[in-house]
Structure 1
Amino acid sequence: MRFKSLALALGLAVSATAGQAQSVDVTLSGGNPGGLWSLLGAGMDRAAKANDPDSVITYQATGGGFANIGLLAANRTDLGLVHDAEIQLALSGQEPFSAPVENMQAIGYMYNWAPMHFFLNSKMAEEYDIDSLDDIASSGAPITIGINRSGNITGNVALFMLEAAGLDEATLESNGGSFVRAGANEQGDLMQDGRIDMATNGIFIGHASFRAIDENTDVVLLEIPQDVIEATNKEFGTSAYTIPAGSYSNQDADINTMALGAMVVTTDQMEDAVAEALAKAFLENIDEIRGVHGAMKQLTPELMVSQTVLPFHPGAEKVYKDAGLIE
């Protein structure tokens, strides 16, 4: 009888343990402190703790997606926030990577609504009859164009799109223009001071840097030819996007463009149980992630599984299959 009671007690203990959530203790490499990615890190940590109070996701500030891929490639971080366009370059071994990065696996997509914007000074747009990206090269306009700093993927994308629209650096210089490397907030200041004529970036509609440009300078949002959008999506693994009419002061019509997305990435070294616990926590406590910023309200379970550039980690894949989100 004593052995029977002991066996029953052990059985109950095993059953209780099996029902508990898997604790996680991982490092997430993100971007600058105080930016959206650091907010996402805090939201993911809260989501993990909601399933198990002992879980910890420690946010590590880095130089951004390219740096995070380098850390993942060297297995020096557990998780990294990375743009889909950066992953595409890494998989094919394009600059800044010296060889293909082959150990990355996805945990979940966080957003895909950071569209490329091209704001041009209204006076120059009117003087040279420019309303589309492909008008710039043939216009002869001496445009000084703000491009994000080296190492930021939006700079790569902007240069590619401009060249696809016929404007390479040689053509721009022959027209008397130039490229100026500057971050998002810097471009707003440069536009306001008249030191650049065009600002380019790929971040959320109504981002503070875009609001500053729209409110403090007279600008138009340029149209983007469909063939440029398609070429960009093919090159970077990004997706088409529409900036609705009225998003900015002088924008009377929808503007078709493309948008960057960002996802949580791990490596094939992560244990299945840990990846499963992370995906389960993010899915079941998605409101913790949605609540970090107004722009994240669009996040849905369906969006989390919609990325196409990487295979999902087997642990995360199991969660999404069990939830009926993927086959």
Structure 2
Amino acid sequence: MKKLKWISMVAIISLLLAACGSDGASGGDSSSGDDSSSQSIVFGTGGTSGAYYAIGGSLKPIFEESDSIGNVTVESTGASVANIQNITDGLNQMAIVMSDVAYDAVEGKGQFEGNKVEVQALAGMYQNVVQVVAMSDSGIKSIEDLKGKKVGVGQVGSGVEQSAKKVLEAAGLSYDDLEKVTHTGYADSVQEMKNGTLDAAFFTSGVPNSNITDLMQQNDVSFVEIKGDLADKLMEKYPFYKTFTIESGDEAKYNLDSKVETVGIQNMLVVSKDVSEDTVYDLTKRYYDYLGTDAVAVAPLKEVNRDEMAKGLIAPLHPGAKKFYEEKGLLE
């Protein structure tokens, strides 16, 4: 009798499990009927107070209008290096990165030494401008004058530090030639300059940088130019650098008395090679169309010329992006 009861219980449990499995399968079929071709995208950006994160937030609804996209999750990250690593690890499908970091990743150099990454470009964005700011009483008039000075070079491993090292190298300098090197973020570099413990600092960002604007409120500073032979050396060795001029008299850009010639590094939208051609084609088209409207709210994106967003891309184009640019006649 006990054996019969046990067999009956097993039968009942089996029926219940079968019913649950049937419901689950039915639910899956119903869901896939609406979203079978859609893909969820994790969009790697940067810190929550930075431009990358704001741009991600502004592009999220634009990309989610695509029938190919189910949802876009804007993720705060450690920016360029972390974003490329996350794409490699399958954690992000799309990200914003600086071209110098993308170059190192594709070529297997720098922080990616011996470990090439198959990241692909979707589009170009605004330039991160190398801004070297010095206290006016420091006697620093050129990059070479940083020798023997106290200099902030950005946080360890950051895009700012990578730029600082390359600029110093082009000028024949290294950290050993400086009196003091601090690995500080923008806000801390500015505070140290205010306190008199730093003579100068590197900032690689859009223009204006709010931290520089803050420093200029009550302090006399000067911008150290990167031009002429120095700029030529940089651009010859590192093809991701481009000349950039911060114009004078522009109240939105420091309201300088005279223009500043320097170099910039293009930011890029990159995607995983595993995202489909049709999806990337649609994302590229929507980004292009969005840049042609008055709805662009984030300041750095207003600087982007949409008809040049296929130029100067360091990473190879994703086939979907390439198809769109070929149709628009935007490839050189």
Separation of aligned partners in 2, 1:287 and 1:275: 19
Q: In the superposition, relative to structure 1, how do residues 24 and 303 fare at CA in structure 2: closer, same or farther (>3 Å)?
A: farther
1:96 is paired with a residue of what secondary structure? helix
Separation of aligned partners in 1, 2:318 and 2:279: 10
Q: In the superposition, relative to structure 1, how do residues 66 and 178 fare at CA in structure 2: closer, same or farther (>3 Å)?
A: same
Report runs of 4+ in structure 1 exceeding 3 Å deviation: 49-55, 246-252, 287-290
**Larger-gyration structure (1/2):** 2
Q: In the superposition, relative to structure 1, how do residues 280 and 303 fare at CA in structure 2: closer, same or farther (>3 Å)?
A: same
Separation of aligned partners in 1, 2:254 and 2:305: 30
The residue identity in structure 2 corresponding to 1:151 is G
> What residue is the counterpart of 2:58 in the other structure?
43
Structure 1 residue 279, shift from structure 2 partner: 0.9
Note the residue ranges of structure 1 that are not aligned, 5 or more in a row. 1-21
Q: TM-score, normalised by structure 1?
A: 0.82
Structure 1 residue 276, shift from structure 2 partner: 1.2
The residue identity in structure 2 corresponding to 1:245 is S
Q: TM-score, normalised by structure 2?
A: 0.81
Matched, 1:157 2:135: no
> What residue is the counterpart of 2:311 in the other structure?
306
The residue identity in structure 1 corresponding to 2:151 is I
1:285 is paired with a residue of what secondary structure? helix
Note the residue ranges of structure 2 that are not aligned, 5 or more in a row. 1-36
State whether residues 145 and 179 of structure 1, in contact with CA within 8 Å, keep that contact through their aligned partners in structure 2.
yes
State whether residues 44 and 288 of structure 1, in contact with CA within 8 Å, keep that contact through their aligned partners in structure 2.
no
> What residue is the counterpart of 1:210 in the other structure?
212
Identify which of structures 1 and 2 has the higher relative contact order when contacts are C-alpha pairs closer than 8 Å and 6+ apart. Answer: 1
> What residue is the counterpart of 1:194 in the other structure?
196
Separation of aligned partners in 2, 1:66 and 1:195: 29
Cα deviation per residue 1:172-218 (whole Å; 9 max; x = unaligned)?
Answer: 2xxxx211110011111111111211121111222211101211321
> What residue is the counterpart of 1:284 in the other structure?
289
Structure 1 residue 95, shift from structure 2 partner: 2.8
Q: Which of 250, 258, 264 is the matching residue for 1:259?
A: 264
> What residue is the counterpart of 1:83 in the other structure?
98
State whether residues 226 and 263 of structure 2, in contact with CA within 8 Å, keep that contact through their aligned partners in structure 1.
no
The residue identity in structure 2 corresponding to 1:45 is K
Q: How does 1:64-213 map to 2 (within 5 A)?
A: 64-112=79-127, 114-125=128-139, 130-137=140-147, 142-172=148-178, 177-213=179-215
Q: Which of 241, 246, 249 is the matching residue for 2:244?
A: 241
Give the total of aligned pairs.
Answer: 293
Separation of aligned partners in 1, 2:225 and 2:233: 15
Structure 1 residue 310, shift from structure 2 partner: 1.6
Separation of aligned partners in 2, 1:61 and 1:157: 22
> What residue is the counterpart of 1:16 in the other structure?
none
State whether residues 42 and 59 of structure 1, in contact with CA within 8 Å, keep that contact through their aligned partners in structure 2.
yes
Deviates more, 1:194-203 or 1:235-244: 235-244
